[in-house]
Structure 1
Amino acid sequence: MNKSWAIVNKLLPFSCVDGPGNRLVIFLQGCNFKCLNCHNPYTISLCQDCGDCVATCPHQALTFSHHQVVWQTSACQQCDTCLQTCQYQSTPMTYRYSIEDILNIIRKYLPFLNGITLSGGEATIQLPFIEKLFHAIKNADDLKHLTCFIDSNGYLSQTGWQKVVNVMDGAMIDLKAWDTQVHKKLTGRDNHRVIKTIEYLSKIHKLHEVRFLIIPTHTDLQNKAEQIAHFLLALDPTMRVRINAFHHHGVQGIAKTWEPASKQHVENFATELKQFGLKNIILPTVYLS
C-alpha cells in the first residue's frame, strides 16, 4: 500500500477516551481480525470495487467508473444501504488522505489538541502511512508537542512495532481473550502476537493501557482474572487497564443474540483484578444494551 496516503473511514476531531487529553482520532479502514462481536464490521475489509452497492443506493451517491466505485459525498444521505448490501464487510464511504491532508486537518484543530490517535479497523494494517505521518508530526515545529498514539488489536509483529516506536508516544492494546483458542474463536486468530506486543511495549515504556471487552459467556476473561492480573503485574505494577462492556450497537450475525455486559458483569471483573493486585482500572461511564 502507498505509504503517502491512507484509506480513512472517518475522522473524529475531538476525543477524550482515545489516549491522554483531547485527541484527534483517525479511523483507518481495514482489519486483520474478523471479530464476531465487531461493533463496526464495515471497517474490516477494503472495498473490492465489485459495484453491488451502486445499484442499491437510493440517492445515486455511488457510481462505477474505470472499474472503481466512486462515492459522491454531496449526494450521500448516510442511509447505510451500501453497508447492508456489501458482502465483503466493507464500505464505499471512505476517504483517501495524503500526509499533507492530515497535517492540514491537525492544524485546523491544533489549539484544542493534546495529541493524535490512529485507530480502525486495525490501524497497523496501514503501518507505512502511520510511520510517515508520525515522523512528519515530530519534525514539524508547530506540531511536535503533540503525542502520537496507536489504538491496536496488538497483532503487529515486534519488527513492525520497531518501525514506529521512536515516533510513537504510546499504544492502547486490546486483549480479547486469555485462552488462545477462545481468542481464535472470537477473532479468527490466536493471541500469541498480542501477548508478545503487550510484553514488548511495556518493556520499552510505550504501553499506555490494556483494554478488555467483557462478553458474558463468550469471553474467558471473567474466569481468568488471576492469571491476567499476575501477567500484567509482572510487567508493570502500575499497569493501566480499561474494561469495556459488550453491547449490540452495530453488531451483525450471531453476536446480536449474545447477552450484553451489565454494569455488574464489568464491576465483578474489576473487583477480581483488584483483589489480585491491579489498581489502575478504568470502568465505562455509560452502559448500552
Structure 2
Amino acid sequence: MNLPEAKVSKILNFSCVDGPGNRLVLFLQGCNFACLNCHNPHTMALCNHCGDCVPACPTGALSMIGGRVVHDPTRCDECDQCLEVCPINSNPKVFQVTIGEVLELVQRNKPFLNGITVSGGEATTQLKFITALFGVMKQSVSLRDLTCFIDSNGYLPEFAWRSVLPYTDGVMLDIKSFDCDLHCKLTGRTNERVLASARFLHAEGKLHELRYLLIPGMTDVPAEIDRLLDFVLDLSPGLNLRLNAFQHHGVRGEAQDWPAAEKDRVEEIASQLRRGGLSNVTTPAVYI
C-alpha cells in the first residue's frame, strides 16, 4: 500500500506549547484560511515556482532547475529573506516527508516526548496524511503510548472529522470570531463550520482545547467576549480555553498597523470569563 506523503514547512523536535506535555510538531504547508493577522503567513500557499525568491537568497541556497525552485538546505542560513519577498505567502523551503521518516524521527526522540502534534498552515488540508500517520502510530507497539493531536482552524466538515477521530487523541481548535461578518473579514471564510466543528468534537470527547485570539477593538469587545463565554458554558465550564494575544510578530499588510493586545486587558478578560463560570482559562506566558 502506498502511504501518502506530506508537504512540510517545518518540524520541531520538541515543543511544550503545542499540546499537553513535550511534543514533536509537524507544521504542514497550506491553509484554507487567509487570515489578515496570521503570524506565519508563509505557511498559507504552495509554491508556484515563480522564482522571485531566488535572487533574494544571499547564500545561493535557492536555484531554478527545470522551471522549479529548488532549495539546498546545506547552503541555507535560515535568514528567511525568501519568505519576505514571496508574493503569494509561500515557502520555497517546503519539503516532502514520508510516514516512515516521521516515525523514525518520533522514535529517535521518544524518550523526551509525550506525543506528536500536526499543525500548519492548516493541518487538515492534508487529512489523508494525518489519518495514515496516526493510524500507523496507534498500531505500533513502540509508539502507541504517545498521544496524537491536531491543531486546526476547524473548517473541516463533520464527515471528514469522522475519518480521523478514531486515530486522534485530541484537537486544539481556533475560533477567530463569533461575529460571522468579522470572521469573514479576518479569515476570508464564514464561521458556521468552525463553530459546528467545536460542538461536534466536544460531543465526541475529542476537543482538547479552544483557542481564542484577542485583537484590540475587534475580538476583545464586550459582544464577542459575551458570546465566547456563552459558547464555552454551553459546551462545558471546565473546557480548556486558551486566550492568545495579538502581537505583530510575522504579520503582514494592514495587521501591522493594528494595536497589540496588552497584558492588562487580556488578564481582565480572563478574570471576566472566570467570574462567568469558566474554570480552565489560560493566558499567555509571554507577550512578544
Q: Do they superpose with TM above 0.5?
A: yes
Give the aligned partner of residue 285 of structure 2.
285
CA distance in 2 between counterparts of 1:254 and 1:182 reads 15
CA distance in 2 between counterparts of 1:18 and 1:222 reads 28
Give the aligned partner of residue 59 of structure 2.
59
Relative to structure 1, is the Cα distance of residues 164 and 144 closer, same or farther in structure 2, using a 3 angstrom cutoff? same
Give the aligned partner of residue 267 of structure 1.
267
The answer to whether structure 1 residue 99 and structure 2 residue 99 are counterparts is: yes
Give the aligned partner of residue 116 of structure 1.
116
Give the aligned partner of residue 157 of structure 2.
157
Give the aligned partner of residue 132 of structure 1.
132
Partner SS, residue 70 of structure 1: strand
1:184 CA displacement:
0.6
- Does structure 2 retain, via aligned residues, the 8 Å contact 1:226–1:276? no
Partner SS, residue 12 of structure 1: strand
- Does structure 2 retain, via aligned residues, the 8 Å contact 1:83–1:91? yes
Query: Which 10-residue stretch deviates more, 61-70 or 39-48?
Result: 61-70
Partner SS, residue 53 of structure 2: helix
Q: Which amino acid aligns with 2:99?
A: I
Partner SS, residue 102 of structure 2: helix
- Does structure 1 retain, via aligned residues, the 8 Å contact 2:177–2:224? no
1:277 CA displacement:
1.2
Deviations 1:35-88 (A, max 9, x none): 111111111101111122123322211111222211001111222221122111
Q: Which amino acid aligns with 2:277?
A: G
Relative to structure 1, is the Cα distance of residues 268 and 3 closer, same or farther in structure 2, using a 3 angstrom cutoff? farther
CA distance in 1 between counterparts of 2:222 and 2:160 reads 31
Q: Which amino acid aligns with 1:213?
A: L
Runs of 4+ in structure 1 off by over 6 angstroms are none
- Does structure 1 retain, via aligned residues, the 8 Å contact 2:172–2:211? yes
1:224 CA displacement:
2.5
Give the aligned partner of residue 42 of structure 2.
42
1:159 CA displacement:
1.0
- Does structure 2 retain, via aligned residues, the 8 Å contact 1:61–1:76? yes
CA distance in 2 between counterparts of 1:184 and 1:209 reads 22
**% same residue:** 49
Relative to structure 1, is the Cα distance of residues 205 and 70 closer, same or farther in structure 2, using a 3 angstrom cutoff? same
- Does structure 2 retain, via aligned residues, the 8 Å contact 1:10–1:28? yes
Q: Which amino acid aligns with 2:72?
A: Q
Partner SS, residue 79 of structure 1: coil
Partner SS, residue 55 of structure 2: helix
The answer to whether structure 1 residue 21 and structure 2 residue 41 are counterparts is: no
Query: Which 10-residue stretch deviates more, 126-135 or 228-237?
Result: 228-237
- Does structure 2 retain, via aligned residues, the 8 Å contact 1:178–1:221? no
CA distance in 2 between counterparts of 1:227 and 1:80 reads 39
Partner SS, residue 54 of structure 2: helix
- Give the alignment's TM-score, normalised by structure 1: 0.96
Give the aligned partner of residue 12 of structure 2.
12
Kindly tell me the number of residue pairs found equivalent between the two proteins.
287
Give the aligned partner of residue 232 of structure 2.
232
- Give the alignment's TM-score, normalised by structure 2: 0.96
- Does structure 2 retain, via aligned residues, the 8 Å contact 1:46–1:91? yes
1:155 CA displacement:
0.5
1:226 CA displacement:
2.5
- Does structure 1 retain, via aligned residues, the 8 Å contact 2:219–2:225? no
